[in-house]
Amino acid sequence: MTLDELLTPLSDAAPCGPDLDATMDAGYEDYYFGALGRLPAYYYRPGVERPDGTASHDMVFDSGEVDINAERRAIETLLSRSRDIRLLVLLAQWEALAGRIDPLADAIEGIAALIETFGDTVHPNLSDGTSARRDALGDLNSQITMIQPLQFLGLTGTDEVSLRKIRVASGAVTPLQSEQDLTPGMMSDALSDPGNKKRLEVNHGALRRMADALARISKACQTHTTAAFTPSLDLVTSTVQEMLAAISSGRPELSVPEAPADTAPDPAQADTLPDSTDAAADTPLALTISSHDHARLTLEACEHYYRRNEPSSAALLLVTQARLLIGRPLIEALETLLPDKAGQAIVDFGPQTGFALNIDRLRQLTDSAPQSTPPQSDTQEPDISPPDIDTGGAAAGAMRAVEIYFQKAERSSPVPILLQRARSYLERDFQSLVDELVPSVETNS
């Protein structure tokens, strides 16, 4: 279905046709709700270590599993009867899962054009308020069916380089088994390779169309005269901007359009490209940690954010543990993180001497602080205050900043590894957390 066909009124009296959802149309319900059930429950799951030391394989969604032609035919048949945002959002999700960036851009442009052309009457209409339309558009912000497929999408026509791999190469996210030994140089070389120029230009054009369409959707919703609202498109908008920035880093002639103020992500939520995300770096590092006390205050600010806004986050547990280990001795870290093996810790000087310091002696040494007064530093400690953290992206960026500080200031600290794992949990759903944290539990997923 072309854009012109999509924007052609179905009748003078009802330009968008009937609301097939509200009328419980059998054909609509059979396809739409069946399709929702076919969407994947996860896009990727890292392998988990087994008790015997082996690890299960990573699981990443295979775009070849999507019968995109069948899904598109079914959706276009329904669109020929009813102009419905929900159907185009579902089509966008299937196109993202299938790894087809141009048709994905077409679908998002179609959503923008429908709202601009038909306003209140496009389904779900605004006669009963904004909640149904807000929920429909919010599915464009789905981690599993939109954000992660975009992050894994090959920018050069193959899987050689992607936003996900750029993040892995920068140390922002934990690599999967297939993502080992990636470096920023490898990513830059692929993006600047003359052989990839044409595909990068095509993908850049599609991403620019997506960025423009997302901004149009937000503007149309925010400027409605009687039912204005702001759709939740921050994650997909920032992801598209990050992909554009990644391409421009290797192809400076391809500019990155500035995100409109209404839809631009908080600077603390955007990836440092090349970084991010994780979404960080995942996030740009606007924060520089100056001391252990500063690091502690920063992690406390992260904890306050998660306890207030995301109390079920697994990251909260590790952020708290990282804070509690700041300034603590090695033995305490071993006993905390290796409770079953810490008692076996020993400093062995080799068979030639037979010298050894066992765990009991190491504990004694830990408690044997010098009796003299420590020297005073001539450097005045700057005034520090906790950062303002009111978004998930800001929390991720703050964690990354603390990681970097300890990697330089105290390389033996366990804080970086705890925070790295915490950030790896940020985009995980409940089921994937269950599979990792309690791998032996069988669930009915």
**225 belongs to a structural domain:** yes
What DSSP assignment string belongs to 17-70?
Answer: ---TTTTT-HHHHHHHHHHHHHS-S-SEE---B-TTS-BPPPEE--GGG--HHH
Residue 83 pLDDT exceeds 80? yes
Mean pLDDT of 259-279: 40
**88 belongs to a structural domain:** yes
Q: What is the pLDDT of residue 274?
A: 34
This prediction has a pTM of 0.60
- By percentage, how much of the chain surpasses pLDDT 70? 88
Q: Please indicate, yes or no, whether residues 354 and 255 belong to a single structural domain of this protein.
A: no
**371 belongs to a structural domain:** no
Q: Which of 45-49, 122-126, 388-392 has the lowest mean pLDDT?
A: 45-49
When pLDDT is cut at 50, 70 and 90, the band that residue 256 belongs to is low
Q: Please indicate, yes or no, whether residues 125 and 253 belong to a single structural domain of this protein.
A: yes
- Domain end, chosen from 254, 269, 284, is at 269
Q: What are phi and psi of 277, to 5 degrees?
A: -95, -10
User: Which range marks the domain in which residue 320 is found?
Assistant: 292-364+383-425
Q: Please indicate, yes or no, whether residues 122 and 230 belong to a single structural domain of this protein.
A: yes
Amino acid 164 reads R
Q: Please indicate, yes or no, whether residues 232 and 314 belong to a single structural domain of this protein.
A: no
SS3 128: coil
SS3 372: coil
Round to whole Å and give the CA distance between 70 and 72.
5
**172 belongs to a structural domain:** yes
Q: What are phi and psi of 49, to 5 degrees?
A: -75, 135
Amino acid 340 reads D
Round to whole Å and give the CA distance between 166 and 188.
9
Higher pLDDT, 276 or 348: 348
Domains in the chain: how many in total? 2
- By percentage, how much of the chain surpasses pLDDT 90? 40
Q: Please indicate, yes or no, whether residues 255 and 297 belong to a single structural domain of this protein.
A: no
Q: Please indicate, yes or no, whether residues 29 and 84 belong to a single structural domain of this protein.
A: yes
What does the buried/exposed string (b/e) look like for 225-262 if buried means 16 or more CB atoms within 10 Å of the residue's CB?
eeeebebbbbbbbbbbbbbbbbbbbbbeebebeebeee
**375 belongs to a structural domain:** no
Cα 233-239-242 angle, rounded to 5 deg: 140
Round to whole Å and give the CA distance between 147 and 143.
5
* Residues constituting the chain: 445
Residue 441 pLDDT exceeds 80? no
Q: Please indicate, yes or no, whether residues 254 and 309 belong to a single structural domain of this protein.
A: no
Q: Please indicate, yes or no, whether residues 310 and 262 belong to a single structural domain of this protein.
A: no
**370 belongs to a structural domain:** no
pLDDT in tens, 146-192: 999 999 999 988 888 999 999 888 877 778 888 888 888 888 888 88
Q: Please indicate, yes or no, whether residues 97 and 213 belong to a single structural domain of this protein.
A: yes
**89 belongs to a structural domain:** yes
- Domain end, chosen from 269, 284, 315, is at 269
